[in-house]
A and B are shown apart, each in its own frame.
Chain A
Amino acid sequence: MIRIINSTRPWPGGRPGPARRPPLPFGPVVFAALVAAWWLASVLELAPPFLLPAPDVVFATARDLALDGTLFRHLQVSLLRIAAGFLGATAIALPLAVAFGLWPAFARSLDPLVEFLRHVPPLALIPLLILWLGIGEAQKLAVIILAAFFPIFLNAGTGIAQCDPKLVEVGRVCGLGRAAIVRRIVLPAALPAILVGLRLGFGYSWRALVGAELIAASSGLGYMIVNAENLARTDIVIVGILAIGLLGVALDRVGRILARRMAPWIRSELDLGRA
């Protein structure tokens, strides 16, 4: 006989499910432990303070650099370069990806060139760029564009190629023209992949920029670091590194929030990529 029991009690004899514990904040703990180790190492003078200044020294330096405007001046320069380069890369890569998707013959003829360039790291091109463009802004811009171009271009291309032809057919039976289908169906369908590319591209270009500023620049966070190295100011070097890392994390956060705003239909199954 089957009895229907209307009850919220757990199944007799059944095991209770695992209690939901809030996850431990391991991330901050690890970070704090690292700072503690650093502090301990400098108190015990495991390394000469000239090589590893104490956390409080670095903090004081950071405060000084922030207060006298040095940090923000370099930060601003780097951010402006990134903004310009990243926008430039996007403005080139996205239309090109659309063109590749629309005209396969065009794609086939440019494909070998793209493949070749894809395998040359932008930093390896810096000497050539310096010879051609000097050490000014044009060279920095070129490095950023080269670094950001491929992730944006390739991901957008994949997204466009993978647009469901069934959805395109819907556009056709709805009487949409070719341009309208691209704008209203193909691009939105590719948006998740495009966002992944933008996020990757941003990470790449941020790193490439700092690299370029290390090699040849008179301003920017990378320059601040290499200049401090020449002055043997390890504390400033560390401040620079911290600023670069923290800023990267912060900008990536902002990017992710913007992505979720733009594409609320994307569920968490796609983590929008990682740089």
Chain B
Amino acid sequence: MLEVAGLRKVYDVAGRTVAALDGVTLALPGGSFTAVVGRSGCGKTTLLRLLAGLEDPTGGAIRRSSDRGEPIGVVFQEPRLMPWLTVNDNVALGVAGRLEERAAAERVGSALALVGLGAFAAARPDQLSGGMAQRVAVARALAIGAEIVLMDEPFGALDAFTRRTLQRELVEIWRAKRPTILFVTHDVEEAALLAERVLVMEAGRLIDDVAVDRPHPRSPIDPALLAVRERVLAAVTGAPEPVLA
């Protein structure tokens, strides 16, 4: 369980203060799959960076039910692989020093197998395609063994084919291992296709919370998903422009 109450983050942009997050309250139950959607600049990445501990909030609180200092898995919008490490060692970065050698190798191996890249363990990042690199990034986040995985538009830069494949893989992984996933995207269809719940964000606030109560595997033309999509789009379009605080 990950809880956030009244979370605020204020930035200084060109002499003016911008409230990137303006009082966000939400709870992510263990094993849930939540998507956050919203237009560009509404604060999605900021929310994720605060949850990952990469930045400190200006106000509000973040609480984890079992805070024994376990790291949180993060998949960034770009793969962010270390060019000097093999695929295997990139994935191993997440378990470095926290597991004994045998257990670490096992964890890395199974994470790579999960994303279908077992055969590429010895490859270097510059020998991978963009989609493969992103899968390595997913494997790295999973290998950490985190109960919570944050993903920031992880498939945003991929072509439609690869994206669909990775979406399916992600759902499979989630169903098999049940991590708590927070999935940021600006693709409303993707959010409805993957998540149990879609949070709609606008100008630093959550303005809607839509449950998607459909079993996997889902079809993108399922009328229930189309209804979710319409509702989310209506909520965002009806929202005011981002404000300067």
Interface residues of B in 35-67 (CB under 8 A from A): 52-54
- Of the residues A172, A185, A189, A267, contact of B54 by C-beta under 8 Å: A172
Residues of A contacting B73 with CB < 8 Å? 173
Inter-chain CA distance A174–B81, complex, in Å, is 12
Query: Are A184 and B93 in contact, CB atoms less than 8 angstroms apart?
Result: yes
Q: A255 in the interface, Cβ–Cβ < 8 Å? A: no
Residues of B contacting A264 with CB < 8 Å? 124
Residues of B contacting A176 with CB < 8 Å? 93, 96-97
Q: B197 in the interface, Cβ–Cβ < 8 Å? A: no
Query: Are A263 and B84 in contact, CB atoms less than 8 angstroms apart?
Result: yes
Query: Are B76 and A166 in contact, CB atoms less than 8 angstroms apart?
Result: yes
Query: Are B54 and A184 in contact, CB atoms less than 8 angstroms apart?
Result: no
Query: Are A174 and B84 in contact, CB atoms less than 8 angstroms apart?
Result: no
- Of the residues B85, B98, B126, contact of A175 by C-beta under 8 Å: B98
Inter-chain CA distance A264–B85, complex, in Å, is 10
Known A-B contacts A180-B97, A188-B82, A263-B84; A174 and B54 likewise in contact (beta carbons under 8 Å): no
Query: Are B54 and A170 in contact, CB atoms less than 8 angstroms apart?
Result: no
Q: B229 in the interface, Cβ–Cβ < 8 Å? A: no
From residue B90, how far is it (CB to closest CB) to chain A in Å? 9
Inter-chain CA distance A231–B153, complex, in Å, is 77
Residues of A contacting B82 with CB < 8 Å? 167, 170, 185, 188-189
Interface residues of A in 62-86 (CB under 8 A from B): none
Inter-chain CA distance A170–B79, complex, in Å, is 10
- Of the residues B52, B97, B98, B124, contact of A265 by C-beta under 8 Å: B124
Inter-chain CA distance A180–B98, complex, in Å, is 12
Known A-B contacts A173-B71, A174-B140, A175-B144; A180 and B96 likewise in contact (beta carbons under 8 Å): yes
From residue B74, how far is it (CB to closest CB) to chain A in Å? 4
Inter-chain CA distance A185–B74, complex, in Å, is 17
Query: Are B80 and A167 in contact, CB atoms less than 8 angstroms apart?
Result: yes
Known A-B contacts A169-B54, A175-B144; A191 and B84 likewise in contact (beta carbons under 8 Å): yes
Query: Are A265 and B84 in contact, CB atoms less than 8 angstroms apart?
Result: yes
Inter-chain CA distance A244–B61, complex, in Å, is 67
Inter-chain CA distance A167–B97, complex, in Å, is 18
Q: B72 in the interface, Cβ–Cβ < 8 Å? A: yes
Residues of A contacting B78 with CB < 8 Å? 166
From residue B63, how far is it (CB to closest CB) to chain A in Å? 19
Residues of A contacting B84 with CB < 8 Å? 188-189, 191, 263, 265
Identity of the chain A residue whose Cβ is nearest the Cβ of B125 in the assembled complex: A265
Query: Are A175 and B76 in contact, CB atoms less than 8 angstroms apart?
Result: no
Query: Are B80 and A170 in contact, CB atoms less than 8 angstroms apart?
Result: yes
Query: Are B71 and A175 in contact, CB atoms less than 8 angstroms apart?
Result: yes
Q: List 17 A-B contacts (CB under 8 A).
A: A166-B80, A167-B82, A169-B76, A170-B82, A173-B53, A173-B73, A174-B94, A174-B140, A174-B144, A175-B94, A175-B144, A185-B82, A188-B82, A188-B85, A265-B83, A265-B84, A265-B125
Which B residues are closer than 8 A to A by beta carbons? 52-54, 71-74, 76, 78, 80, 82-85, 93-94, 96-98, 124-126, 140, 144
Q: Known A-B contacts: A173-B71, A173-B72, A265-B124. Give 17 more (CB < 8 A).
A: A166-B76, A166-B78, A169-B54, A170-B80, A173-B53, A174-B94, A174-B96, A175-B94, A175-B144, A176-B93, A180-B97, A184-B93, A185-B82, A188-B82, A265-B83, A265-B125, A265-B126
8 closest Cβ pairs, A-B complex = A175-B71, A173-B74, A188-B84, A174-B94, A265-B83, A170-B80, A174-B93, A265-B84
